[in-house]
Amino acid sequence: MSDGNTPGKASGDAELKATLTKTVVSGNRATLHLYLTAILGLLFLLGLLSPSSAQFLAMIPANTAMVHFRIWNLVTAAYYENSLLMGALNIGVALVVGRMLERKWGAEYLKLMVAVNLATMVSIFIIMVACYATTMSDTFLFSPVCGFSAANAAFGVALKQLAPEQNCISSIDAIKFKDIPAVVVACAIACNMLGLTLLKDLLLVIFGTYFGWLYLRYFMAYPGSSLRGDTSEHFAFKMLFPVYVRPIGAMFGNLSFWACEACGFCKVVEPPQEVQTSKTSAPELPDVPETTDAERQVIERRRALAMKAINKRLEELRAAKQRKAASPSPVHPSEQSENGEPAAEHRINVKE
C-alpha cells in the first residue's frame, strides 16, 4: 500500500497553516465539526448536571455486558463527558482541529473518529475485565470510562501526517505538528502521575494515539486516491515519538503490520525494478527462437536461391553495360567539338 497516490506533506495548505487564532473558527465551508461540537457540548452539560446519566451513557463494564447489557455504551461513552477539565479541553480541540480535518478530508475524518472511539472503548473494556479477573477488585467493573480524548489524540496524529513541519502556534517554532502525538502522550502520563486526571484518561489517550495511527496507516480512504492507507516512511509508528524511544515504537509498528498482514488488511508490494542503461548502449535485441534441422535446411535453400537470383541480375546489368559501351552513339547537329567550333562534318563553306 503506498506510500504515489498516497497523502504526503501538505505544509503549503492554507488551512493547515492556520493556528489557534480566529482564522481557524471563521467561515462556513465546513459544518460537520459544528454538529459534532454541539453534540459533545450537550452530553457534557448532561454529565455535569445529571451525574447519574453515566449509568446509561458511560462505559461501565458491569453495566455494559455483565449486569444490564447496555452494549450501546461502547458507542456513547466516547462522546459523553462528566469531567469539567477534560470536557472543556476536548470540546475546544474537536472544534479547532475538527474543522481543519473536515476541510481537508470531508466526512472521512468522521470515519476516523468513529473507528478510533469504538476500538478504544472495546480495548479498555477487555483490559478492565481482565484486570478484574486477575485481581478480583470490583473497581475495574464499576468504574465509568468516558470522554472524547481518544478521538482528539487521533486528530493529533492526523495533523502530524498532513503537515509535520507546520508550527502549532505561528510565533513558536519549538513545537510543530510532528511533535503533537509525543507531547500529548507525555502530558497524559504526567497529568496522571500528578493526580490531575484519572487512569481512564491516560488509557484513552494512549489507545487513541495508537488506533488513530493504525487507521490512517492501513485503512483510511484518502480523498483523491484509489489506495487505502499511508505507507510512507515518515509515517511509521516509531516516527511519532522522539529518537530515544523509537526502537520501542518500531517494535509495536512491526507487530501491527504483521497482524494486519495476517488478517489480510495489507500486503507487501515489491517496488518495480528499474533497469539503468546508458544513452550510448545498444538497444536490447529480442530473443531468437531455436530452429530445428528441417527449418535450417529450408533457410539455407532459400538463401541459395536468393544469392543465385542476385548474381543473375548482376550479370544481366554488366552485359547491358558492355553492349551500350560498344555501340557508337549518334552525334546531334547541335553538338560541338572540344575546342568549341562546330564539328567538321557540319561546317559550312562560306565561299561556296
What is the distance between the alpha carbons of residues 265 and 109, in angstroms, rounded to a whole number? 20
Closest CA to 131 of 216, 222, 188, 61: 61
- All three cell numbers of 310: 542476385
State residue 158's pLDDT score.
92
Residue labelled with grid coordinates 452494549: 71
Residues of the chain below pLDDT 70: 1-30, 171, 265-291, 293, 328-352
Query: 314: phi > 0 → left, psi -120 to 50 → alpha, else beta; which?
Result: alpha
Phi, psi of 250 (to 5 degrees): -65, -35
State residue 22's pLDDT score.
43
Q: Convert the chain into a string of H (helix), E (strand) and C (coil).
A: CCCCCCCCCCCCCHHHHCCCCHHHHCCCCCCHHHHHHHHHHHHHHHHHHCHHHHHHHCECHHHHHHCCCCCCHHHHCCCCCCCHHHHHHHHHHHHHHHHHHHHHHCCHHHHHHHHHHHHHHHHHHHHHHHHHHHHCCCHHHHCCECCCHHHHHHHHHHHHHHCCCCEEECCEEEEEHHHHHHHHHHHHHHHHHCCCCCHHHHHHHHHHHHHHHHHHHHCCECCCCCCECCCCHHHCHHHHCCHHHHHHHHHHHHHHHHHHHHCCCCCCCCCCCCCCCCCCCCCCCCCCCCCCHHHHHHHHHHHHHHHHHHHHHHHHHHHHHHHHHHCCCCCCCCCECCCCCECHHHCCCCCC
State residue 283's pLDDT score.
55
First to last CA, the chain: 110
pTM: 0.67
State residue 91's pLDDT score.
93
> Residues 232-247: pLDDT tens digits?
888 888 888 888 888 8
